[in-house]
Amino acid sequence: MGVSGSGKTTVAHGIRDALGLVFAEADEFHSDANIAKMKNGIPLTDEDRWPWLEKLSGWMAEQAAQGRDTVIACSALRRSYRDVLRSGVPDVEFVHLDGPADVIRERLSGRRGHYMPASLLESQVETLEPLQADETGVVLDLREPADRLVDQAVEWLGSRDRERHEG
C-alpha cells in the first residue's frame, strides 16, 4: 500500500516472485470512468473507489477459495478502504511503502505511460491514513532500494507466517 509512485508494483512483483503468490495490479480493476477522471487530474471520491475496492476484495476472495495466496499493488489509502479489502479475506496483511512526498514527486515526474498524473499526489498524501494498531502491517521506507524493500517485506511476511503456525 502507499501513494502513487511509492514503488508498490515493483515491490509486489518482488514479493510475488519470492513467495510464488498470484499478483494483481489494483489499477487494472478501475472503471473507465475512474481512469478518465485521473487522466484529467481529478481526484477520485470515496464513491468512485467503493466499487473498485469491492472488485479487488472479490478477486482476493476468489483466489483464496481456490487455495491461492495473493499480493496486490493497491494504494489502500484509508482505513475504510482497507476494511473493504479485508471483507473478502479477513487476514490481509499490509506492506506500507512510506516516505517523503518530495522523493515520490520526483519519481512521478520521470514516470511515463501511467494515467495517474503527479498533480494528484497531494490529494493522495492528504487522504493517506497510516496503519492503525489493530491492522496487521509493516511500514517500510520507500527510499530503500527495491530489492532491499522486497527482502524486508518477505522477511516480515515470513515471520507472520511462522507466528500463525506456532501460535
Residues 90-147: pLDDT tens digits?
A: 999 999 999 999 998 888 876 565 555 556 788 888 899 999 999 999 999 999 999 9
What is the pLDDT averaged over residues 52-60? 97
Phi, psi of 121 (to 5 degrees): -60, -45
Residue 154 φ/ψ, nearest 5 degrees = -65, -40
Distance (Å, whole) CA 2 – CA 24: 15
What span, in angstroms and rounded, lies between the C-alpha atoms of 94 and 163? 16
Q: Of how many residues is the chain composed?
A: 167
CB 4 within 8 Å of CB 142? no
> What class has domain 8-159?
alpha beta
* pLDDT per position as a tens digit, 21-35: 999 999 999 999 999
